[in-house]
Amino acid sequence: MNSLVEMRNITKKFPGVTALKGVNFDVRPGEVHILLGENGAGKSTLMKMLSGAYEPTEGTMVANGKEFPRFTPKISQDNGISIIYQELSVINEISIQENIFVGKLLTKRIAGIPVVDNASMRRRTEEVLREIGLDRKPNVPVGQLSISEKQMVEIAKAVAFDAKVIIMDEPTTSLTTEEINHLYEIIDNLKKQGKGIVFISHKLDEVLTVGDRVTILKDGAYVGTYPISEMDEDRLVKLMVGREIKGSHLKNPNKDYGDEIIFEAKNITRKDNKVRNVSFQLRKGEILGFSGLVGAGRTELMEAIFGARPIKSGEMYLYGRKLDIKSTYQAVKEGIVLVTENRRETGFSPYHSIKQNMVQAKGLKEAKFNGLSGLIHEKEEQAVAEEQAEAMQVKCASLSQIITELSGGNQQKVILGRWMASNPELIIFDEPTKGIDVGTKSEIYKLMRRLAEQGKGVLVVSSEMPELLSTCDRIIVMNDGQSRGEFDNADATEEELVRVATMA
Ligand SMILES: Nc1ncnc2c1ncn2[C@@H]1O[C@H](COP(=O)(O)OP(=O)(O)OP(=O)(O)O)[C@@H](O)[C@H]1O
Ligand SMILES: [Mg+2]
């Protein structure tokens, strides 16, 4: 079968790293081609060569039977290649229509003079939005949209210009189950129209559901391309990791942790009422999970505990001592940290190095004079960063690299390392394994267990129920800003959690 695009024997070197060595890849009409590999394996880098953002160091690119040493963004566009980046690239300040046509305005001629053709752009935008099922007006500013809607705007861009190859780099990491199903429908439709889809994901069940073929990368090397029909989860993991991943299931679901309370929340109500009257106790040694639908108030509760949002009433105690936290700075000082689900917006400093990011929380915690003097020594910084990079298995060429040069999953590991370096007492993990590969996922679960065993408080918010069920001793289900039920691990099932989460 003829391929829409092909990459032959591609090698890509960055200073200090060979990101890809001798990789082959192609996309056929009407297929979903999965690109699979651990964090830092080279998936995003390979795709950036298809979009023309990066130039291969060696190898050949082929589009419509024509060979090129590299794709420029123009060649890529002319050959119908459209990419939706891991970190979305829509512009919040302008409308949906403007996002779709930015840099590619439609024009018409009036008396021989080209002018912007607003009517056509509006018509085309409406058409495309209808086609992909996004119920919004073309003039709505993108900043008002949810993450999934922003992603649909990116898809709309591809559809509007009749892209032939659409690349989706981890499109489902921030979506709810319902939104994911909608995305699958869109993908199915695109397939039927003969488009080729490249789909990157760390969720193996998803890979097996949507994929037709899979190409696996391991440490930048080409492992192979296979029909999905020949694959199951175990085979995928073996090919991608080269070893088996042991499940990190809860060893002792009915363990009696005694009565020592590490942390207690009493009747927490947020000023904006997004959380109402929530109380819970965290015992020493246990991991406490929070389940619920998106918008149920889990993240909102954690923000309140972390001092990021004001509370109207309620009390919090750490080791029996009453807390009075009015800012995140005070929370960090008290030993409370929040590993956020959204690394881009609230997680890291994008212009700083790995090392600078790693030492930030520790610097803050040890700072004197209200945070004004947070200096720690160069040598100590290096040691702290080295220790955490090692513990979190961050894949990088050097600790002075700017954090945005890292692969998505490795950025997340740096954030984790940063909080661990501050030696916290209570660690709140909010969707900690988003975009994290299977191997590292089980490392993070082990880290949580280790922290709990060391007597630290561990709270986990997750939308993935298997994740909660395999890591938490107890699970609280939130719904409409309130706590609606509490389960011991032994009594919790996915069905029960969903039932309570959706109770009217
Ligand atoms: N601009 C850059 N400068 C230096 N190194 C880079 C740059 N971009 C990527 N790399 C390196 O190339 C390697 C591959 O990164 P890439 O982002 O392609 O991984 P990935 O497979 O997409 O991982 P993830 O699943 O975490 O998103 C990593 O070691 C990364 O640090
Ligand atoms: Mg990536």
Ligand 1 site, residue 6, Cβ cutoff 6 A: no
Angle at 207 between CA 88 and CA 413, to 5 degrees: 55
Per-residue model confidence as pLDDT tens digits over 42-68? 999 999 999 999 999 999 999 988 999
Per-residue model confidence as pLDDT tens digits over 427-451? 999 988 888 888 888 888 988 998 9
Q: What is the pLDDT of residue 329?
A: 87
Quote the CA–CA distance of 450 and 285 in Å, as a whole number: 9
Q: What is the pLDDT of residue 189?
A: 93
Query: Is residue 266 assigned to a domain?
Result: yes
Q: What is the pTM of this model?
A: 0.82
Query: Is residue 310 assigned to a domain?
Result: yes
Query: Is the same domain home to 24 and 132?
Result: yes
Query: Is the same domain home to 402 and 436?
Result: no
Query: Is the same domain home to 213 and 137?
Result: yes
Q: Give the residue, by CA position, lying nearest to ligand 1 atom 17.
A: 407
Query: Is residue 402 assigned to a domain?
Result: yes
Say which CATH number the domain at 441 has. 3.40.50.300
Which parts of 195-250 fold into alpha helices (H)?
204-210, 233-241
Q: What 3-state DSSP class applies to 359?
A: helix
pLDDT-derived band at 479 (thresholds 50, 70, 90) equals: very high
- Among 241, 268, 302, identify where a domain stops: 241
Q: pLDDT at residue 371 above 60?
A: no
Quote the CA–CA distance of 458 and 21 in Å, as a whole number: 40
Query: Is the same domain home to 208 and 328?
Result: no
Query: Is the same domain home to 311 and 395?
Result: no
Per-residue model confidence as pLDDT tens digits over 236-257? 999 988 766 655 555 555 567 7
Query: Is the same domain home to 442 and 407?
Result: no
In the predicted model, what is the mean pLDDT of the chain? 89
Q: How far is CA 497 from each of CA 252, 440, 448, 478, 500, rounded to the nearest angstrom?
A: 20, 26, 22, 10, 5
Higher pLDDT, 146 or 281: 281
Work out the percent of the chain whose per-residue pLDDT is above 90.
55
Q: For every residue of 310-338, which 3-state class applies, written as one string?
A: CEEEEEEEECCEECCCCCHHHHHHHCEEE
Ligand 1 site, residue 19, Cβ cutoff 6 A: yes
Query: Is the same domain home to 154 and 47?
Result: yes
Query: Is the same domain home to 158 and 306?
Result: no
Nearest-atom index, ligand 1, CA of 45: 18
Q: Give the residue, by CA position, lying nearest to ligand 1 atom 25.
A: 39
Ligand 1 site, residue 215, Cβ cutoff 6 A: no
Query: Is the same domain home to 123 and 183?
Result: yes
Ligand 1 site, residue 17, Cβ cutoff 6 A: yes
Query: Is the same domain home to 431 and 475?
Result: yes
Taking the CA of 202 as reference, the closest ligand is 1
Q: pLDDT at residue 98 above 80?
A: yes
Q: For every residue of 51-112, which 3-state class applies, written as one string?
A: CCCCCCCEEEEEECCEEECCCCHHHHHHCCEEEECCCCCCCCCCEHHHHHHCCCCCEEEECC
The residue segments making up the domain with residue 500 are: 260-335+425-504
Among 446, 449, 455, which residue's Cα sits nearest to residue 423?
455
Per-residue model confidence as pLDDT tens digits over 340-357? 766 555 556 777 888 888
- Among 210, 241, 272, identify where a domain stops: 241
pLDDT-derived band at 368 (thresholds 50, 70, 90) equals: low
Ligand 1 site, residue 412, Cβ cutoff 6 A: no
Number of domains in the chain: 3
